[in-house]
Chain A
Amino acid sequence: MMSSFLFRAMDARAGLFLAIMAAVIILVPACNLLLPEGSTFHVPNYAVTLMGKYLTYALLALAVDLVWGYCGILSLGHAAFFALGGYAMGMYLMRQIGTRGVYGDPILPDFMVFLNWGELPWYWYGFDMFWFAALMVLLVPGVLAFVFGWFAFRSRVTGVYLSIITQALTYALLLAFFRNDMGFGGNNGLTDFKDILGFDIQADTTRAGLFAASGLALVLCFLICRAITRSKLGKVLVAVRDAESRTRFLGYRVEHYKLFVWTLSAMMAGIAGALYVPQVGIINPGEFAPANSIEVVIWVAVGGRGTLVGAVLGAVLVNFAKTWFTAALPDIWLFALGGLFVVVTLFLPKGIVGIVSQGWTALRQRKISEDYEAGSDEPPSQAPQSPASPANVSPKTSSSTLPADAEPQPAE
């Protein structure tokens, strides 16, 4: 009975999220394209791009939440997968420029002409085709994550050690992509894009389309994550998170579960990066910076780790705050962000969604018990405060059976 109640709560939350997302995906582009500029409800172009960017961040946060919130793998290198997806898309967009570049070379991107490169490096082949680039957006982060995870999880690198080497991974990639010899534009990265799939990348309709695509990708990945976390697989993942050794001794191949969810998460991050690049119009090695990866973690922590909605909410909220702070009070932003890290870890270990759902559960149960004490004709169908069920002695312990509220700590 308790579990059905919980699932209903989850459903309500997910349903609410999906409804809001549907509204956003339809309304924002519509208000941007259909309403005249003077209208109160008109969404300006920059806001569409900005919100589209938030959506890709939200997708990245979702990917981090999947591995951290449900599997206890704290990745400090997810920005690497994000940036790799972004570079794959950026390479496609570079090839689309064609002769419209500064040097007008039909094959070579501008920076290669500038560096006196004779011909296109082999790893740029195929990126003139969208399907190939789209495949690479998934494959490059996926393969990297698979190889990395294969080694790391098999040798049981966990906890802080794993976090540190994920950071080393993204740092190494940062240094590598800064090199001009790599053939990815070095310090400047890839930019000056002209069009995507034949549409002008600067056009309002394209931007609205990209926004909608980001929203749809987010919804799709959300549904995938939800399906995974609610399946038996998801239960095993939570078990790995809470007691890795015990799960292993129960006969589960922990590293396989971890590897699967890790690779999937990296691919999602790659999609996020691929949607991010055409909207901001540039991808450069700065995206690999370890600080970016750590920031993603705080988005998840703010929203509530182990709650998929929380990751999305946290990403949007923190980034909105960042946009606002860096414009209005640029000196304060780092104080605010740093303070956020401390406050959230100290006082909000379950994030905003955790607090809200806890409060909501408590409220609901108080109401039920009040009804009961007021002498309503029938006892409530659920028995949240029934002393016979030890799990439901108090609202606090009952809430702890929520997957969202379990301590997401790896067993150390």
Chain B
Amino acid sequence: MSLMRSFLLLLSLAASLLATPALAQSDAATLRPLINELAKGKYSETEKQIGALVATGDPQVAPALEALSDGDLYARKADGEVFIIKKAGKAYTLIDPLTMETAGEASKREIKKIKVNNSLRRVIRSALGSLTLMAPDPAVRMAAAEAIFKAKDPDGIEALDAAIAAEADDGVRKKMEEARAAAVLNSDMDEAAKLQAVSTLGTMGNRDALSRLIAVQSSSEGALREAATTEITKIEKSIAAWDAAQNIWYGLSLGSVLLLAAIGLAITFGVMGVINMAHGEMVMIGAYVTFVVQEFIRSSAPGLFEYSLFIALPLAFLTSGLVGVAIERGVIRWLYGRPLETLLATWGISLVLQQAVRSIFGPTNREVGNPDWMSGAFEIGQMTITYNRMWIIVFAMLVFAGLMLVLKKTPFGLYTRAVTQNRRMAASMGIRTPWIDALTFGLGSGIAGIAGVALSQIDNVSPNLGQGYIIDSFMVVVFGGVGNLWGTLVGAMTLGVVNKFLEPYAGAVLGKIFVLVFIILFIQKRPRGLFALKGRAVEA
């Protein structure tokens, strides 16, 4: 009987909510007496009082109802005020059920528990479900539907039916229908309804639906079982496809990080034939520039925080680029024709830069904030895509395209390519190769700097930031081949995707080891990388 009554109550509630949304928001002054009413009378009266509370349609009453259901709602004997009680040893802390603020303490004798029985609890549960299912905020309704889906409580079906009828938001309605399907499968409704529920879950197509369907498959017979089985195979196929897509996405994301870290290295290596061991430190400098820019913005112009990365980009490019030019002019140009010595000298520089940053900024991680547009995630089908990863892929592609443009369409790029292919011939044609070297080194370092801005968003900004990327960057450059940016792109993406596909089978560390061994073997086969320069350029 009480079930029927609460159902009617809900219907009337739904109607009243639709008709007069203004009623939904009541203030504490009207709610408080209603809550205090709960302390009076017998179970049947309490039930009516609950109905009155729910009729306000105000989600604020939910805590009080939950506390009542849990047996934590007490009345103060002195004035009849109702509070939620938190027990801690012998002390009873009074919490106001509306504001959720502490309202002093009481001894056991001063308060009286509001009694509750199972039928009341059921009333409260559906009342709560309907309160949240009908809440004005779509996110709350979504969460309520989600909760029912998880609990697959058949009692929720009526509330859901009412809510589905009233729902205006397509996404929320879909979720509610799925929740209803789950509840139907758990109820004792007829087979037709259940078959329909199975197909609803089938279209839902994710892991939750899969586990629910597997439960149905094992507990049912006949047509229902067959329907569940076909839906399960369908879902499993689609989940496998989505998993592969997700892995590719992770791989591309890792690949674009590698690309950002390695592309500057590829330029300097391609032009000067020398691996710049201090390249990782250029990345680190870029990240620290981001940190400094954000600190400055925080202290003097907090409104600009959303644009901090755009401000940091050119600054990081300039800072790292200038450091790069200084290194080239100061050290590397004296070591031309001695690639191994250059490698050692730049390693020394990287140690000095690391220690310098450690002395200035301290050895600990520095916090670089994510602007709002970089944080959060969205879903495509079964895939979760975080904004920061997505923007980094976009950014890596932009950097790559920009670099391609510079190298292919500007005079500087023409000179750079000429020097890469044949230094002496280029010099004979009147290209000032020392300047090209310095500028190219500056460009490569500057690119590393803006890579640092991007990496500051997904990694810890510490003096060791660059160290973590340097070996991976080498691998990308060596794998992709020298003197060809496409090689770097393909190398980075391949390594990224292969790494992510190996991870589920071999674990992250072992996967990485496999990749390293693979590269070592690959170099044996093609000592000049995937896209090697051919012909005389190699010996030049």
Identify the A interface with B (CB < 8 A): 74, 148, 151-152, 154-161, 163-165, 167-169, 171-172, 175-176, 178-179, 290, 294, 297-298, 301, 331, 334-335, 337-342, 344-346, 349, 409-410, 412
Question: Given A331-B359, A335-B352, A349-B341, A342–B509 Cβ distance below 8 Å?
Answer: no
| B448-492 contacts to A (CB < 8 Å) | 471, 474-475, 478
Interchain nearest-CB distance for B124 vs A (Å): 49
- Min distance, Cβ A180 to any Cβ of chain B, angstroms: 10
Q: Which residues of chain B are within 8 angstroms of A169 by Cβ–Cβ distance?
A: 516, 520
Asked if B355 CB lies within 8 Å of chain A CBs, one says yes
Contact B274 A160 (CB under 8 A): yes
A351 to chain B, nearest CB (A): 12
Given contacts A151-B521, A157-B527, A345-B344, contact A412 B359 (CB under 8 A): no
Q: Is the interface of A mostly helix, strand, loop or mixed?
A: helix
Q: Which one, B354, B516, B524, contacts A168 given CB within 8 A?
A: B516
- B295-303, B331-339, B387-395, B411-419 - the one binding chain A: B331-339
Residues of B in contact with A (beta carbons under 8 Å apart):
269, 273-275, 277, 331, 334-335, 337-345, 347-356, 358-359, 471, 474-475, 478, 509-510, 512-513, 516-517, 519-521, 523-525, 527-528
Residue of A nearest to B520 (CB): A165
Given contacts A74-B340, A160-B340, contact A294 B347 (CB under 8 A): yes
Picked from A152, A171, A335, the residue with its CB within 8 Å of the CB of B516 is: A171
Which residue on A lies nearest to B515, using beta carbons? Answer: A172
**Chain B nearest CB, measured from A143 CB (Å):** 16
Report whether B523 and A175 are in contact in the complex, using a CB–CB cutoff of 8 Å.
no
Minimum CB–CB distance for B466 against chain A, Å: 12
Known: A157-B524, A412-B273; 18 extra A-B contacts, CB below 8 A, are A155-B524, A157-B523, A160-B273, A164-B475, A169-B520, A175-B516, A176-B509, A294-B347, A334-B352, A335-B352, A338-B349, A338-B350, A338-B351, A338-B355, A341-B345, A345-B342, A346-B331, A412-B339
Q: A157-B527, A171-B516, A175-B509 are in contact. Are A345 and B345 (CB under 8 A)?
A: yes
A143 to B509, CA, bound (A): 24
The distance in angstroms between the C-alpha atoms of A301 and B273, with both chains bound, is: 21
Q: With CB as the reference atom, state the residue of chain A lying closest to B477.
A: A164
- B269: which A residues are within 8 A, CB to CB? 160
Q: Give chain A residues whose Cβ lies under 8 Å from the Cβ of B342.
A: 345
B474 & A167 in contact (Cβ 8 Å cutoff): yes
Closest Cβ of chain B: how far from A147's Cβ, in Å?
A: 11
Distance of B420 from chain A, by nearest CB (Å): 15
Residues in B with CB closer than 8 Å to A297 are: 344
Q: List 14 A-B contacts (CB under 8 A).
A: A151-B524, A152-B524, A164-B275, A165-B478, A165-B519, A171-B471, A175-B512, A178-B509, A294-B277, A334-B355, A338-B349, A345-B335, A346-B345, A349-B341
Q: Could you tell me the distance in whole angstroms from the C-beta of B529 to the nearest C-beta in chain A?
A: 8
Task: Assess whether B517 is in contact with A172, with CB atoms less than 8 Å apart.
Answer: yes
Contact B471 A335 (CB under 8 A): no
Establish whether residues B348 and A338, one from each chain, have CB atoms under 8 Å apart when the complex forms. yes
B513 touches A341 (CB 8 A): no
Complex Cα distance, B269 from A161, in Å, reads 11
Contact: B347 with A160, CB < 8 Å? no
CB distance from B476 to the nearest CB of A (A): 11
Across-interface contacts of A171 in B (CB, < 8 A): 471, 516
| B478 touching A339, Cβ below 8 Å | no
Whole-angstrom CA separation of A164 from B354 in the bound complex: 21
Q: Report which of A156, A168, A178 forms a contact with B520, defined as CB distance below 8 A.
A: A168
Distance in angstroms from B74 CB to nearest chain A CB is 51
Whether the Cβ atoms of A290 and B509 lie closer than 8 Å is no
Chain B positions within 8 Å of A346 at CB level:
331, 334-335, 345
- Structural contact, B523 and A74, CB atoms closer than 8 A: no
> What is the chain B residue whose CB lies nearest that of A152?
B524
Tell whether, in the assembled complex, residue A159 and residue B340 are in contact, meaning their CB atoms are under 8 Å apart. Answer: yes
Q: Least Cβ distance of B267 to chain A in Å?
A: 15
B343 touches A176 (CB 8 A): no
- Give, as a whole number of angstroms, the nearest-CB distance from B198 to chain A: 43
The 9 A-B pairs with the shortest beta carbon distances in the complex, nearest first, are A341-B348, A338-B351, A338-B352, A334-B355, A172-B516, A338-B348, A345-B345, A155-B524, A345-B341
Q: Which residues of B contact A154 (CB under 8 A)?
A: 524
A167 & B471 in contact (Cβ 8 Å cutoff)? yes
Q: How far does the Cβ of A27 sit from chain B's closest Cβ, in whole Å?
A: 35
A266 to B: closest C-beta gap in Å? 16
Known pairs A172-B513, A346-B334; A331 contacts B349 (CB<8 A):
no
User: Would you call B359 and A341 a contact (CB within 8 A)?
Assistant: no
- Residues from chain A with Cβ under 8 Å of B355 in the complex: 331, 334-335, 338
Contacting residue for A161 out of B277, B331, B352, B478, CB 8 A: B478
Q: Are B351 and A334 in contact (CB under 8 A)?
A: yes
Q: A179, A331, A342: which contacts B331 (Cβ < 8 A)?
A: A342
CA of A169 to CA of B510, assembled, Å: 14
Nearest Cβ distance between residue A63 and chain B, in whole angstroms?
17
Q: How far is the CB of B238 from chain A (nearest CB, A)?
A: 34
Chain B residue, CB-CB nearest to A68: B340
Contacts of A338 in B (CB 8 A): 347-353, 355
Which of chain A's residues has its CB closest to B278's CB? A338
What residues of chain B lie closer than 8 Å to A157, measured between beta carbons?
523-524, 527
Which residues of chain A are near B513, meaning CB under 8 Å?
172, 175-176
Q: A164-B478, A176-B513 are in contact. Are A339 and B348 (CB under 8 A)?
A: yes
- Residue in B337, B345, B510 whose CB lies within 8 Å of A179: B510
CB contacts (< 8 Å) of A156 on chain B: these are 527
> Given A164-B474, A339-B348, A409 and B340 touching (CB < 8 A)?
yes
A331 CB contacts on chain B under 8 angstroms: 355, 359
In the bound assembly, the distance between CA atoms of A297 and B340 in angstroms comes to 11
CB atoms of A342 and B349 under 8 A apart: yes
